[in-house]
Amino acid sequence: MKVTVERAELLKSLGHVHRVVERRNTIPILANVLIKADKGSLSLKATDLDLEVTDSIAAEVAPGGATTVPAHMFYDIVRKLPDGSQIVIEGSGDRAVLSIRAGRSRFTLQTLPESDFPDLAAGEMAHTFKVPAGDLKRLIDKTQFAISTEETRYYLNGIYLHTPAAAAGKPAMLRAVATDGHRLAQVELPLPDGAAGMPGIIVPRKTVAEVQRLIEAGEGDVTIELSAGKIRFSIGNVVLTSKLIDGTFPDYGRVIPANNDKSLIVDKKDFEAAVDRVSTVSSERGRAVKLSITSGRLVLSVTNPDSGSATEELEVEYESEPLDIGFNSRYLLDIAAQIEGEVAVLKLADPGSPTLVQDKDAKGALYVLMPMRV
């Protein structure tokens, strides 16, 4: 195998695939990236057995071939080579090494045979649809923060993607939900062609993070194919295939309050900044911020027995009876950061019930936050 390729193209492609490879591996082949050269293109593939990413770039190939090399080391070598350099990759069938040349730099890497590399065979994908990259990015950006990191509740370790039953007179939607038991995020977009009848699926946290990086620019369409056990995202030349979480997402609809009758309307930026300021004195253990709400006025306060206290007052729109309620300040900031408009609406019931947070003009997104005792 002999391949000549531009450094910038190879670095970008390796950037897409090498992140999937875990730093510590008990199976040596999983630490490697599969390199395949054939007819003017070089393809790279990496997997951790749950997630597989492939990318292909144009290259001068003569002759073709395939092998595997340590992914992170290969990426670091290419990253450190000079900008604009042409890289020549050469492998010989009789020796288990791959040579990398660029200018006056020479590297030799140990290889493992292509035949040892696992294939995350996707099987039949029953549903295929396209979503604009910008819409998918919004769906992920606005729900990802609420994914649980508790491994014991593995069914919460991802985003639940499904098509809820359409209410009478309302269009069908594709809905993403994430929750960790303390807060919940729900975002919708119009149902894409081909998504009707899809099963409800839980996309793992690591997969979500990789897709988010791949669609950073938010341009073009993303093709999504899925079955009951796997999902595949095609973004340009990059194809990401992942196993889904095999579990049942809880009936989240029961925690979304429908009858919260007290409406607090705040300027999003002022509110976010005030929460951030008063939480400076909170302890790592108790991040509670207290909201004391009266007609037209909100007082935020934090008391930390070890370091001191803080209060700040804001003018707000509120016409119900006075209410004191506490929240985890970090969770409150996470949700405030998702509000797209200038005004946030908090719909409250009492100090012990979940609070609903939305943009003033909803925009298909809602957030639920459980209160804390203060």
Instruction: List the single range of 58-72, 92-106, 327-341 with lowest mean pLDDT.
Output: 92-106
- Model pLDDT for residues 247-293, shown as the tens digit of each residue: 999 999 999 999 999 999 999 999 999 999 999 998 777 789 999 99
The answer to whether 2-116 and 127-253 have equal CATH topology is yes
- Model pLDDT for residues 334-352, shown as the tens digit of each residue: 999 999 999 999 999 999 9
Asked if the model's pLDDT at residue 123 lies above 80, the reply is no
Asked if the model's pLDDT at residue 168 lies above 90, the reply is no
What fold characterizes domain 127-253? DNA Polymerase III; Chain A, domain 2 (3.10.150)
Place 93 in a pLDDT band, splitting at 50, 70 and 90. Answer: low
Pick the CATH number of 2-116 from 3.40.50.300, 3.10.150.10, 3.40.1360.10, 3.40.50.720: 3.10.150.10
Residues 346/357, Cβ–Cβ less than 8 Å: yes
Mean residue pLDDT across the chain: 93
The residue ranking higher by pLDDT, 249 or 362, is 249
Q: Which CATH architecture has domain 257-369?
A: Roll (3.10)
Instruction: Enter the pTM of the model.
Output: 0.92
Instruction: List the single range of 61-65, 293-297, 342-346 with lowest mean pLDDT.
Output: 61-65
Q: What percent of the chain has pLDDT over 70?
A: 99
- Model pLDDT for residues 4-52, shown as the tens digit of each residue: 999 999 999 999 999 999 988 889 999 999 999 998 999 999 999 999 9
Cβ-based neighbours of 37, under 8 Å, separated by 6 or more: 1, 2, 3, 43, 59, 61, 64, 65, 66, 89
- Residue-range domain boundaries for the chain: 2-116, 127-253, 257-369
